[in-house]
C-alpha cells in the first residue's frame, strides 16, 4: 500500500504560499525512549506516539536534499515556497516507496500514522529543527534540557519533567544540529565548536537557546520556550500574574511614561509581563528594543508599527588592537546610535552583566516610559544587584554611581515571584508580589522607596495588594488611573492564592 499524500490540515493557519505554518496536531511525533511504540506520559495524559526510524528519515532527507540542490542549480531564482512544494512532493514519493518496501518485508503495510510520522521527520530535517521540532511544537513544553545527544528532558509548564528519546545519534550530529539552528536563526556570526564553545541565540519561533560544548564530558543545551508570547495585561490577569487593580496601575505607569524595571528570579515570567506591558504603548509609538537575543518580538507581533529591533552581535573569536573581540556589538554599543533615531521610548531586554550600564543610561536619558528586566532573588536586593553589575562593568563603576542613576532614572520596580508546589502535588504559581516606587536618594545614600503593592501576609495572601498611594499619584490620575483602586486592602483578588502550604497552614 502506498503512503498517503502529505498535505496541510485545513484548520491550521497557512501563509499565502499554501504551505502549512505548522503541522497538524495529530501529526506531531515525539520519539519515545528506547524506540518503544507504547503511549508516552506527557503532562497528565497518555498520548500515543508513532515511532520513527531516524536512519531512514536521514536517508530520505539526504536524497531529497540532492534533488533540491539540482533543482536550484537549474532554476536559481526559484522562490522558497515553490522550492518547498517540490520537496514536499519528493518526500511523499520517497515515503510511499519506503511504505511499499516495508509492506513486502513485514507482510503488513505501515500504518498511516507511521507514514505521517516519517514525512514529518524528513520535513523537519530539511526545513525545521530536526528531531527537536516536535518538542518546540508542543505548547505544554517550557524547557528542553539536552544533556548530550542521548539524554533529553522536557520540563512542562505544570512542573512535570520527563525523559524522552535522543535528538541526535552522536555528539557530532548534535553539534551540527546546533550549528544549523544558528544558521537558520539569522545570526551567521554565531556558531559552536571547540574554539567557540558557547552559543546563545533566539530560534525562529522565539525560543531562547543556550549551549556549551568542549568544556565537559558532553554538549549541554537548554531551550527556553516562550509559552506566553503574545499576551497582554488582560491575559496576565487570566494567568493569575496580576489582578485587575494592578493591571490598571501598570497600564497607567506606561501611559504616564514612568520608567519601570521588572525583576525576579529565572523562569518567573518577567519577559512575558514585559511583552504584555509593551501592548500598553500606542501602536504608533516609536521605540527601540535592545537585546542580547530577540525575545520580545515587538517588531513582528502585528500590534506595534514603529519598532527599531536591535540585537547584540558576538565576536568572531578574534581580538582587535584594543583587545576587544573583533566584530562584537554590545548593548551599550547599540544604545548610543539608537538615541539618534527619533525614539519615544527604549526597552532593554534581560540584563545579566555589564549591559546594566546601557539599561540605566536608557532610563536616565531624556524621555520616560522606558522598560527593562533584571534578575534578582528577592525584591529587597534589586538595587544591590544593579550595583554588583556596575562593579563588573568596564571601568569598575562605583556603587554610588549605580545608586544615583537608579534614583535619577527609575520610577518603579515590579517584582515577579513564583511558588512551586509541584513536588507536593500542587502547581506553579507565578505572580507579581511587590511594586516599589523609587522616590530619590535616602539618608544612607541608597535609593529611597515607597512600597505601593506588597503581599497581604497578614490575611494569607502572597500576591501583591495595595498598600499606599505613590508620590506620583497625580501623574497617574492625569492619564486616567482611578486612584480609589488603591484603597482596597485585599486588592481585586477573588480569594487568597490557593496554596497547599502557606500562611497559617
What percent of the chain has pLDDT above 70?
Answer: 86
In this structure, the answer to whether residues 209 and 91 fall within a common structural domain is: no
Instruction: Quote the number of domains for the chain.
Output: 3
> DSSP states of 178-208 as a string?
HHHHHHHTT-TT---SSSS-EEEEE-TTS-E
For range 266-295, the mean pLDDT: 93
Asked which of 111, 127, 143 is the last residue of a domain, the reply is 127
With bands split at pLDDT 50, 70 and 90, how would you rate the model's confidence at 319? low
Residue 501 lies in a domain: no
Residue 160 lies in a domain: yes
For range 199-212, the mean pLDDT: 88
Residue 318 lies in a domain: no
The answer, as to whether pTM is greater than 0.85, is no
In this structure, the answer to whether residues 192 and 269 fall within a common structural domain is: no
In this structure, the answer to whether residues 105 and 171 fall within a common structural domain is: no
In this structure, the answer to whether residues 61 and 149 fall within a common structural domain is: no
* pLDDT at res. 435: 98
* pLDDT at res. 349: 85
Residue 208 lies in a domain: yes
In this structure, the answer to whether residues 11 and 114 fall within a common structural domain is: yes
* pLDDT at res. 397: 82
Residues 207-254 have pLDDT tens digits of 889 999 999 999 999 999 877 778 899 999 999 999 999 999 999 999
Q: Cα(329)–Cα(333) distance, rounded to whole angstroms?
A: 6
Residue 219 lies in a domain: yes
The three three-digit cell numbers of residue 450, written as one number: 515607597
* pLDDT at res. 128: 92
In this structure, the answer to whether residues 408 and 391 fall within a common structural domain is: yes
> Cβ(273)–Cβ(254) under 8 Å?
no
In this structure, the answer to whether residues 393 and 467 fall within a common structural domain is: yes
Asked which of 101, 127, 153 is the last residue of a domain, the reply is 127
Q: Cα(91)–Cα(20) distance, rounded to whole angstroms?
A: 15
- Angle, vertex CA 464, rays to CA 487 and CA 229, nearest 5: 125
In this structure, the answer to whether residues 146 and 274 fall within a common structural domain is: no
Question: Which residues, including other chains, have CB under 8 Å from residue 100's CB and lie 6 or more apart?
Answer: 1, 2
Residues 106-155 have pLDDT tens digits of 999 999 999 999 999 999 999 999 999 999 999 899 899 999 999 999 99
* pLDDT at res. 333: 87
In this structure, the answer to whether residues 53 and 105 fall within a common structural domain is: yes
For range 295-316, the mean pLDDT: 88
With bands split at pLDDT 50, 70 and 90, how would you rate the model's confidence at 89? very high
Q: Which position has the grid cell 503581599?
A: 455
* pLDDT at res. 318: 66
CA dihedral of residues 16, 20, 22, 26 (deg, nearest 10): 150
With bands split at pLDDT 50, 70 and 90, how would you rate the model's confidence at 316? low
Supply the mean pLDDT for the chain: 85
Residue 504 lies in a domain: no
In this structure, the answer to whether residues 119 and 245 fall within a common structural domain is: no
* pLDDT at res. 314: 77
Nearest C-alpha neighbor of 27 from the set 60, 44, 5: 5
Residue 329 lies in a domain: no
In this structure, the answer to whether residues 106 and 146 fall within a common structural domain is: no
Residue 91's domain comprises 1-127
Residue 499 lies in a domain: no
Tell me: pLDDT of 439 over 90. Answer: yes
Q: b/e for 483-504, b at 16 or more Cβ within 10 A?
A: bebbeeeebbbeebbeeeeeee
For range 262-273, the mean pLDDT: 94
Q: Which CATH number does the domain housing residue 149 bear?
A: 3.30.450.370
Q: Cα(88)–Cα(19) distance, rounded to whole angstroms?
A: 10
In this structure, the answer to whether residues 89 and 169 fall within a common structural domain is: no
Residues 478-495 have pLDDT tens digits of 999 999 999 999 999 988
* pLDDT at res. 292: 85
Tell me: pLDDT of 175 over 90. Answer: yes
Q: Which CATH number does the domain housing residue 267 bear?
A: 3.40.50.300
Nearest C-alpha neighbor of 284 from the set 305, 302, 298, 299: 305
For range 173-179, the mean pLDDT: 94
Residues 378-435 have pLDDT tens digits of 999 999 999 999 988 867 688 999 999 999 999 999 999 999 998 898 889 999 999 9
Question: Which residues, including other chains, have CB under 8 Å from residue 315's CB and lie 6 or more apart?
Answer: 324, 325, 326, 327, 328
Amino acid at each position: 500500500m502506498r503512503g498517503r499524500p502529505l498535505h496541510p490540515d485545513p484548520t491550521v493557519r497557512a501563509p499565502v504560499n499554501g504551505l502549512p505554518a505548522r503541522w497538524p496536531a495529530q501529526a506531531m511525533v515525539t520519539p519515545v525512549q528506547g524506540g518503544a511504540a507504547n503511549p508516552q506520559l506527557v503532562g497528565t495524559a497518555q498520548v500515543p506516539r508513532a515511532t520513527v526510524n531516524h536512519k531512514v528519515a536521514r536517508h530520505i532527507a539526504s536524497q531529497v536534499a540532492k534533488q533540491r540542490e539540482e533543482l536550484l542549480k537549474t532554476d536559481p531564482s526559484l522562490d522558497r515556497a515553490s522550492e518547498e512544494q517540490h520537496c514536499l512532493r519528493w518526500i511523499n514519493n520517497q515515503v510511499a516507496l519506503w511504505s511499499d518496501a516495508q509492506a513486502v518485508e513485514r507482510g503488513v503495510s505501515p500504518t498511516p500514522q507511521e507514514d505521517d510520522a516519517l514525512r514529518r521527520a524528513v520535513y523537519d530535517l530539511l526545513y525545521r529543527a530536526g528531531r527537536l521540532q516536535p518538542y518546540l511544537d508542543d505548547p505544554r513544553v517550557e524547557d528542553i534540557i539536552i544533556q548530550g545527544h542521548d539524554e533529553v528532558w522536557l520540563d512542562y509548564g505544570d512542573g512535570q519533567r520527563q525523559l524522552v528519546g535522543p535528538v541526535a545519534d552522536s555528539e557530532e550530529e548534535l553539534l551540527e544540529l546546533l550549528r544549523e539552528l544558528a544558521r537558520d536563526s539569522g545570526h551567521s556570526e554565531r556558531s559552536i565548536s571547540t574554539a567557540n564553545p558557547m552559543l546563545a541565540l533566539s530560534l525562529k519561533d522565539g525560543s531562547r537557546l543556550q549551549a556549551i560544548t568542549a568544556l565537559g564530558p558532553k554538549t549541554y543545551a537548554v531551550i527556553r520556550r516562550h509559552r506566553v508570547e503574545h499576551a497582554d495585561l488582560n491575559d496576565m490577569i487570566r494567568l493569575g500574574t496580576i489582578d485587575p487593580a494592578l493591571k490598571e496601575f501598570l497600564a497607567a505607569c506606561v501611559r504616564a511614561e514612568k520608567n519601570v524595571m521588572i525583576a525576579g528570579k529565572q523562569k518567573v515570567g518577567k519577559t512575558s509581563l514585559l511583552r504584555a506591558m509593551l501592548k500598553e504603548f500606542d501602536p504608533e509609538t516609536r521605540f527601540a528594543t535592545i537585546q542580547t537575543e530577540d525575545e520580545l518580538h515587538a517588531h513582528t507581533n502585528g500590534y506595534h508599527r514603529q519598532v527599531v529591533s536591535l540585537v547584540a552581535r558576538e565576536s568572531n573569536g578574534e581580538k582587535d588592537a584594543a583587545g576587544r573581540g573583533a566584530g562584537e556589538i554590545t548593548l551599550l554599543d547599540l544604545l548610543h546610535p539608537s538615541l539618534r533615531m527619533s525614539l519615544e521610548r527604549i526597552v532593554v531586554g534581560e540584563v545579566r552583566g555589564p549591559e546594566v550600564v546601557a539599561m540605566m543610561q536608557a532610563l536616565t536619558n531624556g524621555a520616560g516610559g522606558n522598560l527593562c528586566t533584571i534578575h534578582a532573588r528577592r525584591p529587597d536586593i534589586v538595587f544591590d544587584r544593579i550595583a554588583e553589575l556596575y562593579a563588573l562593568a568596564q571601568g569598575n563603576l562605583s556603587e554610588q554611581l549605580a545608586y544615583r542613576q537608579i534614583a535619577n532614572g527609575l520610577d518603579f520596580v515590579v517584582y515577579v515571584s513564583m511558588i512551586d508546589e509541584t513536588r507536593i502535588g500542587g502547581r506553579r504559581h507565578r505572580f507579581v508580589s511587590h511594586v516599589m516606587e523609587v522616590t530619590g536618594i535616602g539618608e544612607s545614600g541608597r535609593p529611597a522607596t515607597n512600597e505601593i503593592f506588597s503581599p497581604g501576609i497578614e490575611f494569607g495572601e502572597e500576591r501583591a495588594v495595595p498598600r499606599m498611594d505613590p508620590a506620583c499619584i497625580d501623574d497617574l490620575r492625569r492619564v486616567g488611573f482611578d486612584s480609589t483602586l488603591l484603597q482596597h486592602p485585599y486588592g481585586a483578588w477573588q480569594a487568597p492564592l490557593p496554596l497547599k502550604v502557606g500562611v497559617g497552614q
